[in-house]
Structure formats: C-alpha cells, structure tokens
C-alpha cells in the first residue's frame, strides 16, 4: 500500500539497506546510516533502470510523487528520464560543450528511433567520442579534432564504427548550428579522410539445393517448439530477425492473411504489411494454442508469438535463431537469421519478380523528391501473389531434395 508521512518518519535503520514501496515504482531506500533516499524504478528500452528523486526530509512524500509523475510523463513521451537528467545537468554545467549538446540532441530524437538504434548511438558517443571531445566547447572543435578521435576508432580496425561515429558527430554539429550554438559542421571537411568501410554481408544460403537441405534440417530440429516455429516462419516472411522475434498476436490478422508490423518496430519507422502464405498461416496456427494469451491455457501464454523461454512477458532472445542454426551445424559464415532476407531477395530477383515489389516487401523504402511518402500498401496485390508463390517454391525445394524445380511466375 502507498506510504504515509508517519511510516516514513518511523522507519528505522537496519543492518542492511531496505526499501519501503510507495506506488508507480517509487520507493524509499533506508540505509544503515539512517539516510533515506527516494528512488524510482522504471523500464526503458526493455531494461530496468532507477532514478534518484532526492533525500528525505529535504524531499517530502508529496514532492517525491510529483517528481515521479513528471518522470513518467517523459517516459510516456518516449524520453528516458535518466538520460534527460544527464543532459540537463551537462547543460547547466556547460551549455556549449559537445557532450551537453549531444545528449540534448539524443534526448530530443530518441523517441523517433528504434530502441536498439537509439541505445547503440548513445553507447558509441559515450565510448568513442565523449572522453576526448565531450567537455570541449562546441565552437572550438575543428575538423582535425574530430578526425583525431575517429583515427582512434579506426586504429582498432572498426572502420564502419568510425564512419558511423562521424555521421553522429555531424548530426550533433548540425543540431548545434540549428539551435544557434555553432556556426558550421566541421565533419563536412572530412569527406574522404577515412578509408571506405568494408560492406558487411550477412551470411546466406542461395543455392536452391542447399536451401532444400536447410528447410529439411529446420523441420527436423529437435529443440523447443517456439524456436522451431520461428525457424520455419523466418524463410516464409523474410523480415528482420528483431521484427520476427518481437511479433505479437495482436498484429496477426488470420482473416486477411496478413501481419501488420507497427512503425515503431520497423527500421524505417513505418507500418509494414507482410502477406501471409498458407504455409505461414499453418505455422502460426500450430503455435497459437501454446503462446497466444487470448486462447492458451499454458503457463507461458503471451502477447508475443515467440515468447522467451524464461518469461512470457518478453520476446524470445535475439540469439535464439542464430543459436539454433549453429546447433543444426550451420557455421557463422554460412547462414544467419538475417540471411533469410538475402536468400529471398536473390532468388526472387532471379525468378523475374518486379524489383520494386521485392524491395517494398523487404521494407527497403526507396524515397526520392518525387515520391517522398511511404505507402505501406504499395504493390500489395502483387506482393500477396509473390509471397504465396515463394512459399510454394520453398515447398518444392524441400520436397524434391536434389531436384531443382523450374519456378515460373504465374
């Protein structure tokens, strides 16, 4: 039950620190020294975090609750209250420093990014940029200063990270220019200063005979049924691994035979429609009685199609598909969870399907000045036809084994 002022005043120190819970994640931590600290527990980006709300009696119960409510409003807006506080402190300490402005920029745009992308940017800045440029006034940082930091990253062989770090620095500088705290973006002077990053390719199987072998190996997989169903669905829908493992039953429409992924989970931040073939529907129907919370009576029923084996409140691990492929004997340079996308793209192009139809189904938004708007239903009739034909082709490869069928678009 919620705390009262009397209960707080009466709380005595013990040999070990202990908590007195209030509501909404707010609690009072009573330390052996007798000091009483307000803390707020919350989750952001799937991770549990804590934020200090001050010390009692300097901060009374009412004030602590007001601070909690304010932080909850930030959280509802997609802002990490902890990061927002860091940015505010840095702003007060040195409003013109690179780190202060970078954190302000990150906080402002964090809600528009996928969680993994947002966290990756912050880690990159904290690890590779802030230690050397963080405390320096923005206006004093020149192109050679940025290059010196990028060379550190490059020296450990992380060329792609160096390029991405330069891109992030440029975004911060342009934000500073837009907000009147810098005159120009010096990263523009660094074009060509870094050697081009080697293009990364996700290992994939594209030989029809070997695809058939892979599909038969998936059907014979003896691991957990949730993982096996995810493996079976992956080549049929060829979405990104993160989109697959976080699929939710509320997104599946069996009547329309489609899976509608909300924009906040997509790389391009736009709704994406995945037409479901008869084979994909069959996989989903197989696992539905086990994991769909609305109809299942099992203890691991969940809102997720593929819940974690440890907790129904979380989606399956991002390594589950990869680990299963390894157990099946497919090495790192041979096949990955992302490789199902390359597999589909390669073969569908070879089979003569329209490039725009394939790209839209892969959620590769090709935008230009003439067609800036993303139409998530674009080419949908042709995409439905393609997805069923693709599933039928996979069945042929799996059934015939060594015989490679000639696949023609009807």
Quote the CA–CA distance of 122 and 99 in Å, as a whole number.
11
Instruction: Judge whether 213 and 286 are in contact, CB under 8 Å.
Output: no
Task: Clarify whether 191 is annotated catalytic.
Answer: no
Choosing from 67, 240, 265, 384, which is the catalytic residue? Answer: 240
In degrees, rounded to 5, the angle at the alpha carbon of residue 176 between the alpha carbons of residues 175 and 181 is 155
Please give the backbone phi and psi of residue 273, each rounded to the nearest 5 degrees, phi first: -100, 130
Task: Clarify whether 108 is annotated catalytic.
Answer: no
Choosing from 86, 267, 303, 379, which is the catalytic residue? Answer: 267
CA dihedral 179, 180, 181, 182 (to 10 degrees): 110
Task: Clarify whether 272 is annotated catalytic.
Answer: no
71: left (phi over 0), alpha (psi -120 to 50) or beta: alpha
For the beta carbon of residue 229, count every other beta carbon within 10 angstroms: 21
Instruction: Judge whether 153 and 165 are in contact, CB under 8 Å.
Output: yes
Quote the CA–CA distance of 391 and 276 in Å, as a whole number.
9
Quote the CA–CA distance of 197 and 159 in Å, as a whole number.
5
Spatial CA neighbour of 111 closest among 80, 82, 84: 80
3-class DSSP state of 247 = coil
Choosing from 232, 374, 383, 393, which is the catalytic residue? Answer: 374
Pairing of strands 47-56, 252-253: unpaired
Choosing from 118, 228, 272, 338, which is the catalytic residue? Answer: 338
Contacts of 225 (CB under 8 A, 6+ apart): 287, 290
Task: Clarify whether 127 is annotated catalytic.
Answer: no
Choosing from 332, 364, 367, 409, which is the catalytic residue? Answer: 364
Pairing of strands 252-253, 258-261: antiparallel
Query: In this structure, what DSSP letter does residue 125 have?
Result: I
Q: Which helix (H) or strand (E) holds 54?
A: strand 47-56
Task: Clarify whether 44 is annotated catalytic.
Answer: no
Query: In this structure, what DSSP letter does residue 31 have?
Result: P
Choosing from 67, 124, 181, 341, which is the catalytic residue? Answer: 341
Instruction: Judge whether 206 and 343 are in contact, CB under 8 Å.
Output: yes
Quote the CA–CA distance of 122 and 128 in Å, as a whole number.
10
How close are the terminal C-alpha atoms of the chain, in Å? 65
Task: Clarify whether 163 is annotated catalytic.
Answer: no
Catalytic site positions: 240, 267, 338, 341, 364, 374
């Amino acid at each position: 039950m919620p705390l009262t002022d009397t209960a707080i005043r009466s709380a005595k120190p013990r040999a070990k620190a202990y908590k007195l819970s209030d509501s909404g994640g707010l609690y009072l931590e009573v330390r052996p020294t007798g000091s009483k600290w307000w803390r707020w527990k919350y989750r952001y980006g799937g991770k549990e975090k804590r934020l200090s709300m001050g010390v009692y009696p300097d901060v009374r119960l009412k004030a602590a609750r007001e601070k909690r409510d304010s932080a909850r409003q930030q959280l509802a807006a997609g802002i990490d209250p902890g990061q927002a506080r860091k940015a505010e402190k840095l702003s007060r300490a040195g409003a013109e420093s690179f780190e202060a402005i970078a954190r302000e920029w990150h906080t402002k745009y964090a809600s528009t990014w996928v969680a993994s992308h947002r966290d990756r940017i912050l880690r990159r800045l904290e690890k590779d940029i802030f230690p050397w440029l963080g405390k320096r006034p923005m206006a004093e940082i020149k192109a050679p200063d940025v290059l010196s930091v990028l060379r550190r990253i490059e020296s450990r062989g992380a060329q792609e990270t160096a390029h991405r770090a330069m891109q992030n620095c440029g975004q911060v500088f342009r934000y500073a220019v837009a907000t009147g705290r810098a005159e120009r973006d010096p990263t523009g002077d660094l074009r060509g200063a870094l050697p081009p990053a080697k293009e990364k390719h996700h290992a994939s199987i594209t030989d029809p005979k070997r695809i058939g072998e892979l599909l038969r190996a998936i059907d014979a997989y003896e691991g957990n049924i949730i993982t096996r169903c995810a493996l079976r669905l992956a080549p049929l829908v060829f979405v990104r691994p993160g989109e697959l493992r976080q699929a939710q039953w509320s997104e599946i429409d069996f009547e329309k035979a489609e899976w509608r992924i909300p924009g906040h989970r997509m790389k391009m931040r736009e709704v994406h429609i995945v037409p479901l073939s008869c084979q994909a529907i069959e996989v989903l129907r197989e696992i539905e009685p086990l994991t769909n919370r609305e109809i299942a009576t099992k203890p691991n029923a969940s809102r997720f199609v593929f819940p974690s084996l440890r907790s129904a409140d979380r989606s399956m691990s991002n390594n589950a598909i990869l680990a299963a492929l390894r157990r099946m004997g497919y090495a790192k340079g041979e096949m990955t969870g992302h490789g199902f996308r390359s597999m589909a793209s390669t073969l569908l192009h070879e089979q003569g399907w329209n490039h725009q139809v394939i790209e839209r189904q892969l959620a590769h938004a090709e935008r230009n000045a003439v067609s800036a708007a993303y139409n998530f239903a674009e080419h949908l009739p042709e995409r439905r036809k393609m997805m069923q034909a693709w599933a039928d082709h996979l069945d042929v490869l799996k059934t015939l084994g060594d015989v490679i069928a000639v696949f023609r678009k009807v």
